Amino acid sequence: MARRANMQTVVVLAMFLLGASLGDPDSRRLYDDLLEKGYSKLARPVRNSSHPVRVSFGLRFTQLIDVDEKNEIMTTNMWAVQEWTDSNLVWTPAEYGGLDVLYVPADHIWLPDVVLSNSADGQYDMADKTPAIVTYEGRVRWTPPAIFRSICNMDVEFFPFDEQVDMQHIWHKTPNDTHTLDEERIDVGIDMQMFIPSQEWDVLAVPAQRNTKTYPCCAEPYPDVTFNITLRRKTLFYTFNIILPCVCINMLTLTCFYVPCDCHEKISICITILLSLSMFQLLLLDLVPGTSMKTPLLGKYILFTLIILCGSIFCSVISLNVHYRGNKVGVMGKFTKWFFLEMLAKVLCIRLPSPAAHDEYMHNHWVPPWRHSADISRPSLTKLCRKGSKIKTAMRRYTAEQVDEQYPGFSISPAFLEAAEKCAECDRLIEHPTTYKAMDGITFIATHHIDAYFAKHMKNDWICMAMVVDRFLLWIYLTLTLVCTLVILLSAPSLFDTRQGFGVN
């Protein structure tokens, strides 16, 4: 059974090959009568040389292969639909067995001299391997496929939210004004029924415009048809892979302002974020079109992000400078203290310790214990100075007002006065060197605590000022970032274009 089936297959194949080799006799006879008996594909197919050859030309868009912004080349897959009437290819169907359609190789008949004038690869003519369909009335329809690589003027100002208008100039290379088209402009000049939607671009409009140009070299006009293909880039890829990471890196800079100035990593965090954005920018060089005519929108935003990061480092340096000034600069001026610690702190809603609370805290924690004793009174000081001893000579240098003025908070307790009176009665004990050293030590300790109190007070003022400056620069940075981001990204007109592309459901 298998052998018999194989024999039947061989017989059917042989009959098919024999029929193909012999062909349709009516078609062969018609082909010989039309093309082998005086037909010339070089002559225009008209009865009268003054009559024009009306050619209907159209494109059938099947696929957008590539749009190269860097080299300004668009690659498309098209079918060039051409129709015209050839008066030399007319026959009567009854004389040829009712045959009304004939398939003829395109290189055997007259073809319009139509080329893509803005071709990028030097292939201007279309392939003539596709057969032409000829009807008995002489109507010829030829639809060759073509891969068009056309030169386009790319505008990347709003990349990646850009729209491109790419032109394909179909030019008649023979200077003859008798080749005409019926309409001057068609709104939908390209057949989009077979279009396969692109993953990167939306095709918004495909108008066609007929033009007639006269060049300095020739007096005859050259007709051409310009197909304008309006493309809009799909931004989902660029939004998730470029714009959102840049925005996140930019927002990450806000954490630098919340790092306390006492932390020594404040500058390191800013520099680390700046380096990460710089490395990210190097990875985007292949995605951003390289052009010197206009700066792309994405390039503007990345440059703005770099500048704002450098500004955050500058702001951090200012905050650290103010924070670590302490008592090296001196007492803060009255206007500066009022402007930053009172007025600006209230505007920025920063709660700072009040001066009264600060003085009370310093009084309870930093003033020596003898502050709570009785102050030096003039009778006690007079009583102590009556003693004819060296203590009297030492204490004569000070009055109650001088003690209060030079050492606020320092006072002598009654126990000390009593001890001094007892020491006055004993010249040997009074003249002992330890007494002088004790008084010098007490004076040094009091002076040290008072100086530390004022130094701490001045340092706290500068620390509070650094907090206010840091918060003020944070709001400036945040406002500038939000405003510039919205202005840069929302300046693209395509974001407000609601037209739907061809082939999009």
| Per-residue pLDDT tens listing for the chain (505 residues) | 444 444 444 333 433 333 433 357 888 889 888 888 888 888 888 888 778 888 888 899 999 999 988 888 999 999 999 999 998 899 999 989 889 999 999 888 998 888 888 888 876 566 667 899 999 999 999 999 888 999 988 888 888 899 999 988 887 766 554 444 455 678 888 999 999 999 999 999 999 988 877 777 777 777 788 899 999 999 888 888 888 888 888 888 888 888 887 777 888 888 888 888 888 888 777 777 777 778 888 888 888 888 888 888 888 888 888 877 765 666 777 888 888 888 888 888 887 766 545 555 545 544 444 444 334 444 444 444 444 444 444 444 444 445 455 555 555 555 555 555 555 555 554 555 666 677 677 777 777 666 666 666 677 778 788 888 888 888 888 898 889 888 988 888 888 888 888 876 5
pLDDT at residue 204 in the model: 93
Contact 159, 288 (CB under 8 A): yes
Dig out the tokens for 236 from the structure: 């989902």
208 phi, psi to nearest 5 deg:
-125, 140
Burial 342-363 (b: 16+ CB within 10 A, else e): eebbeebebebeeeeebeeebe
Q: How far is the C-alpha of 253 from the C-alpha of 266, rounded, in Å?
A: 11
Packing angle of the helix pair 433-489, 244-252 (nearest 10 deg):
160
Contact 156, 296 (CB under 8 A): yes
Torsion of CA 10, 14, 17, 23, to 10 degrees: -140
Strand 73-85 to strand 56-68: parallel, antiparallel, or no bridges (unpaired)?
antiparallel
Contact 431, 387 (CB under 8 A): no
Q: How far is the C-alpha of 115 from the C-alpha of 168, rounded, in Å?
A: 10
Scan for tokens 């500004």, then name that residue.
311
Scan for tokens 């709104």, then name that residue.
187
Scan for tokens 């891969």, then name that residue.
147
DSSP state of 501: P
Strand 145-151 to strand 73-85: parallel, antiparallel, or no bridges (unpaired)?
antiparallel
Phi-psi region of 503 (alpha: psi -120 to 50; beta: other; left: phi over 0): left
pLDDT at residue 127 in the model: 66
Q: How far is the C-alpha of 165 from the C-alpha of 206, rounded, in Å?
A: 10
CA of 196: how far to CAs of 54, 127, 193, 202, 500, in Å? 31, 22, 9, 11, 15
Residues ≥6 apart with Cβ < 8 Å to 450: 407, 408, 409, 410
283 phi, psi to nearest 5 deg:
-75, -15
Residues ≥6 apart with Cβ < 8 Å to 274: 306, 309, 310, 313
Strand 201-205 to strand 73-85: parallel, antiparallel, or no bridges (unpaired)?
unpaired
The domain ranges of the chain are 27-234
Residues ≥6 apart with Cβ < 8 Å to 42: 110
Its CATH architecture, for the domain 27-234, is Distorted Sandwich (2.70)
Q: Give the closest residue to 104 by CA, choosing from 120, 89, 85, 123.
A: 89
DSSP state of 39: -
For the chain, give the number of residues. 505
Scan for tokens 């004793």, then name that residue.
373
How deeply is 323 buried, as exposed, middle or buried, from its count of CB atoms within 10 A (0-12, 13-18, 19+)? buried
Whether the pTM exceeds 0.75: the reply is: no
CA of 9: how far to CAs of 6, 13, 53, in Å? 5, 6, 50
